[in-house]
Amino acid sequence: MSHHARHLIVSLHDVHPGSWNDIEAQLQFLAELGVNRCSLLLVPEFHHQQQAAKWTDSIAASLRERQAAGHDLVLHGYYHDREGQADTLSNVFWTRLYTNHEAEFLDLPDIEAKLRLHRGLELFQQFGWHANGFIAPAWLMSPTLPSLLRRMGFRYTNRLTEILPFGDSPATSAPVPSQSLCYSTRAAWRRFASFRWNQYLFGKLRQTPLMRLSLHPHDLHFAPIRQQIAGFVKTALQEGFQPTTYAQYVAR
């Protein structure tokens, strides 16, 4: 992979048994546009509802096949919610307004974070998947989490505004600035605001060597957003952005 190439990383967030139909539809939609590899962000027990047993053999096999075909499977939190964690004045913006009680790793003590990471990796191992990276729900994590992830053997994490590779040297561990395109669809005003913001942000990202597009399971349910995403992807590919994954990008 050339260092001078332009890269498009599409990530599909919140992959779990309950979202699987939406994820398959997104993968097909993207494949028809010419994006044949994505980073798929898997949540082992989404919102405490999906017990690990709900990962059926067919979903597990499909994900193994997709990983073999070049998709990147990423551990994305463990529960993706804050059940049992208290909100404080200092974090209430992130836990209630920015997210809907989903910032699981925002202030999780390292000892508990490590337990959940191990449990997540055990699920991956059970199904024959491999996790190169970990991405915290809503990209929100404690300041100590990146060094814990590095010690546990992950190759990268990221935030909304940057990729954090865990390379073997300072040069291959330098943060890569890049703000992701991302939609909030849980209210009409949020859909309108993110549509307009992404229109503006896409104009800026077209001038850079790296474009990130982060999708959530319901994004394609809304026709204007679906059309905007298709337009972004078509334009990016026409302008020479190559579809890749986070794992491939950090391994350059």
Q: Is residue 138 included in any domain, yes or no? A: yes
Q: Is residue 17 included in any domain, yes or no? A: yes
Q: Work out the burial of residue 136: count CB atoms within 10 Å of its CB; fewer than 13 is exposed, 13-18 middle, 19 or more buried.
A: buried
- Relative to beta strand 72-75, strand 39-42 is parallel
Q: Work out the burial of residue 164: count CB atoms within 10 Å of its CB; fewer than 13 is exposed, 13-18 middle, 19 or more buried.
A: buried
Q: What is the DSSP letter of 163?
A: E
* CATH code of 77's domain: 3.20.20.370
Q: Is residue 1 included in any domain, yes or no? A: no
Q: Work out the burial of residue 138: count CB atoms within 10 Å of its CB; fewer than 13 is exposed, 13-18 middle, 19 or more buried.
A: buried
Q: Is residue 42 included in any domain, yes or no? A: yes
The pLDDT assigned to 89 comes to 45
Q: Is residue 13 included in any domain, yes or no? A: yes
- Relative to beta strand 72-75, strand 176-177 is unpaired
pLDDT tens digits in sequence order for the chain, 252 residues long: 545 799 999 999 999 999 999 999 999 999 999 999 999 999 999 888 756 668 999 999 999 999 999 999 999 999 987 655 555 544 444 444 444 456 789 888 899 999 999 999 999 999 999 999 999 999 989 999 999 999 999 999 999 999 999 999 998 999 999 999 999 898 898 899 999 999 999 999 999 999 999 999 999 999 999 999 999 999 999 999 999 999 999 998
Strand partners, 214: 11, 182
Residue 73 carries which side chain, given as an amino acid letter? L
The pLDDT assigned to 93 comes to 42
Q: Is residue 147 included in any domain, yes or no? A: yes
Q: Give the number of C-alpha atoms closer than 13 A to the C-alpha of residue 40, restricted to the C-beta side.
A: 31
Domain tally, the chain: 1
Q: Residues 6, 210: contact at Cβ < 8 Å?
A: yes
Which structural domain, as residue segments, surrounds residue 205? 6-250
Cα 99 to Cα 64, 67, 139, 147, distances in angstroms = 30, 29, 10, 24
Q: Is residue 86 included in any domain, yes or no? A: yes
The pLDDT assigned to 92 comes to 44
